[in-house]
Each structure stands twice: as C-alpha cells, then as structure tokens.
Amino acid sequence: MTTLDEIPGAEPGRDSEPDQVDALCQEFRGVCQSAVEPLEIASTLEFNGWSDHAVEERFGFPDVFALAQEMYRRVPRQPLEPHAAPDPWGPSRFRPLLHGLLYVLPAICFPAAVGLLTGPGVLAVLIVALLVGWSLSQGLAYLGYTRRNQAGPGQERRILRWGLAVGLAVVALAMTITALLAHAQLPVVLFGTGEAVYMLGAGVLLVLGAGRWLLLALAPCVVASAVFLGLGRPAYLEHVTWCGLAATPVLALGLALVLTRRTSPSVGRSWTGSEVLRALPSAWFGLAAAGLLAFPIAAGVDGQGGVNTAALLAALGISLSMGVAEASLLWYRRRTQRLLYATGDLAGFVTRARAALVVALLQYAVAAVALIAAVVAVAVGTGLTTGHWEDLPQLASYAILGAAMFLALSVQAFGLRAFIVVACSLALGFEIAFRDLGVPAQLAACGALLVAVGAYATLELGKVVRHGF
C-alpha cells in the first residue's frame, strides 16, 4: 500500500478540521459523487497515497475508510453514466510502444561492446552495473511517482534530482570496489559505469514523461553500434563506436539534470527519511529482479562459472518484452475499470477480473516467448552462437521467469510490494544456494515463484477495493 509522508502544515494527532475534509472532498468530488459506497472512495484515497497513519495524522480519523465514510456523507450523489467514466491510464495508447522501443534499442549496444571489452572482470563489472543501476532506478522511480501523487504534477523534480545525485555516488562507489576486486581494466569500468548511469537517467526521464528525449539520448549509441556491427566490427571504427557508447549515458544524465532543475518554490523539502525507507522495497525488488535475470548468466550452465550463452539470449528477450508487459498491464487495468462500472454483483466482478488477469498474462507470455525465439534466431543466423536443443530448458526457465515478473509488476502497480519482494528474494536465494544443480534449480525457483506470485495476484487483484479508482 502506498503511504503518504508528512504534509507541510499538518500536525500529528490533531483533530480533523472541517475545511481540510471539505478541501479533500472538492479534490475528489467526481469520485464522491459517483461512488456507490464509501469503499470506492477509500480505494481511491489509498491509490493516491493516503494511508491509515497519514489520515489519522492529518484529519484525525482512525483510518482511510472512516474518512471515506465522512466524505461519502458530505458529498451528494450525482452518479455518472458508465460510459462517461474517464480512462485514468493516460490519453496516449502509444506510450507502451514508445517504452518498448526504449527497452529494445539499448540491446544493440551490447553485441557491439562485446568486441571492445577485453581483459579480466568484464562479466563481473557488467552484472554489478546491472544490479546497482536497476535497483537504484526502481527506488528512484518510486520516490518520484509517490511525490507526484502527494504534491501534484511537477513536484517530483526536486526529489528526483537529489536521488539522482545520491545514485551517482552509489554507482561510483560500487564500480570502484568491483574494479579493484575483479582487476578490471579502465574501458570495462567506464562501460559498466555508463550502463548504470544510463539506467538512472532513463528512470528519471521516464518518470517525467520525457520518453522522446530519451530516444534522442539513445541515438548516438544505437547508430554507432549498428554501423559498427553492420560493417563487421572494423578496427578503424572502434574509437567512433566508443564515443557513441559514451555519448548516450552522458546525454541521458544531462537531460535528467536539466529537466529536474525546474522545481516548484512550494516544495520546501527534498526528501525525508521515511520516504527513503518506503522506497527500499522497490529498490530491493529491482535488485532481486536483476539478480534473477543475471545470476544464471554468470553462474554458467553447471553453476561453476563461465558465460551461459542461452541464459544471456533469453535474458535479452525478457528485457525486450518489458514494453509488451506495460501494454498488457494497461489493457488489464482499463478492462477491470470498465468491469467495475458495468458489473452489478461482487461475485461476477471477481470472476471477470481474474479472467482478465489470465488473458493479460497470456498476452504477455506469448509475446515473451516470441521475443526469446527471435533473439535466438538472430544470434544463430548471424553466427554469434550455435543453437542446441539442450538450451530449451534454459530458455523455458526465463519464459517462466518473465511470466512471474509480469504478475509481480501487476501486483506492485496496486501498491502491494512486501510479498513480491520476499518471494523474489527467496527465489534468487534458492538459485544461489543450489547453483550446482544448474538449470533444474532455475526451473524450480522460477516455477515456484510463478505459482506463488500467481496465487497472490489472483487473491488480491480479485478484490473490488483494488480497482475502485
């Protein structure tokens, strides 16, 4: 459940003031007027960041539902017709396509970089960069979205700027320690640092809705890598390719700094300790998810080390499928909102909402399998690897992992994070503990994760309160 931190002007434990509740009623007047019962108002308040603790501190009510009952009493009913309900998930249906491109385009940089990265510690540096960058970007995105929900559009820039500064410091420290331990050469460390910096900058730009600017930042890397690979990796283009690879993280970081510079004067604080603590589950989920993707690559086929090519290709396919995951999730949320307005009985809504979740999962799973197959086909066709039937279990484990990650993201979209973080951490711990078993351990961990997250998602997302906003 998303929580709300302290609000300027609010005194803990103070009794509710009529003008404060009236202001909240005015803010959510449309919801209050069309609500059939206080539960719909309560779910909307929770979705917008109001927790029981925050409600008690600000308004003096014991919980969100008590405040919702009061708002339901104060605002007269003027229900809207079902077809007039607005779509809360944004006017643009092309956003998932744009984000899909943003997930796909960086993939071309890695085959180009493979020919340029030599010496010890390459894999260690790249994996640490992935783990650090992904976890930090997840935590930073949570802070940005939460501040926007609390204070309104545009108010997230200040906290994103501070978070970006802290993230860069963490990346620098992690890369320095990894370089010393792995004895990695400077080009390798610079590439890994650029990878993590790009993820931080990209995370900030996506929170701010600046996906088109991120496409601009990706252009040098993508063009240089495509030309380098298309011409057969000629030695005379190595320096040009390095410049292109370096330009993208620099541009992403620069754009993030520029777009977060314009902060509202009404924002009097950068962040608080409680905000950071609430962002830790998101950061930990990013770390566990990145670990589940990267560990089989580093552990090798038999868990004794060495690059696992099949795992690398499958992980690339799953990364590419994140755009499809976003599209499927948006479809699911639109579908359940329409069901909420159109379905008259609770049992009917629960059944149809769960059926919609299954359809969304199948949509994603088909696309993920197709993308993994496409990546493998391209790798085999270009001579980067040779295909073996023995790789199918490894590829299947990643397809299962992708389905579990889609359900995990779906649950997190409703503010439910604790169970997901624990489940992903346990799955990663199992893979690490039983790495000597190789692919069977990965299949067992990913299969158990899918079952656990699927059961939890079916239970929680079948509740009306999760969709009443």
Q: For all residues of the chain together, what is the average pLDDT?
A: 81
DSSP state of 105: G
Say yes or no: 352 and 468 in one domain: yes
Residues 267/158, Cβ–Cβ less than 8 Å: yes
pLDDT range class, residue 458, cuts 50, 70, 90: very high
DSSP secondary structure letters along 288-345: HHHHHHHHHHHH-TTSSSS--HHHHHHHHHHHHTHHHHHHHHHHHHHHHHHHHHH--S
pLDDT range class, residue 103, cuts 50, 70, 90: low
| Residue where one domain finishes, among candidates 215, 250, 271 | 271
pLDDT at 84: 43
Nearest to 406 by CA among 351, 454, 455: 454
Map tokens 């499809």 to a residue.
324
Nearest to 324 by CA among 372, 370, 367: 367
Say yes or no: 170 and 263 in one domain: yes
Say yes or no: 194 and 285 in one domain: no
Has residue 89 got a pLDDT over 70?
A: no
Overall domain count for the chain: 3
pLDDT range class, residue 262, cuts 50, 70, 90: low
Has residue 29 got a pLDDT over 70?
A: yes
Say yes or no: 354 and 375 in one domain: yes
Range of weakest confidence among 357-361, 422-426, 457-461:
457-461
384-415: pLDDT as tens digits: 677 788 889 999 999 999 999 999 989 988 87
Say yes or no: 183 and 294 in one domain: no
Is 13 a domain residue? no
5-19: pLDDT as tens digits: 333 333 333 444 457
When mean pLDDT is compared over 99-103, 183-187, 209-213, 356-360, the highest value belongs to 356-360
Q: Model-level pTM?
A: 0.68
Is 1 a domain residue? no
pLDDT range class, residue 210, cuts 50, 70, 90: confident
Residue 137, domain extent: 93-271
Range of weakest confidence among 15-24, 115-124, 317-326:
15-24
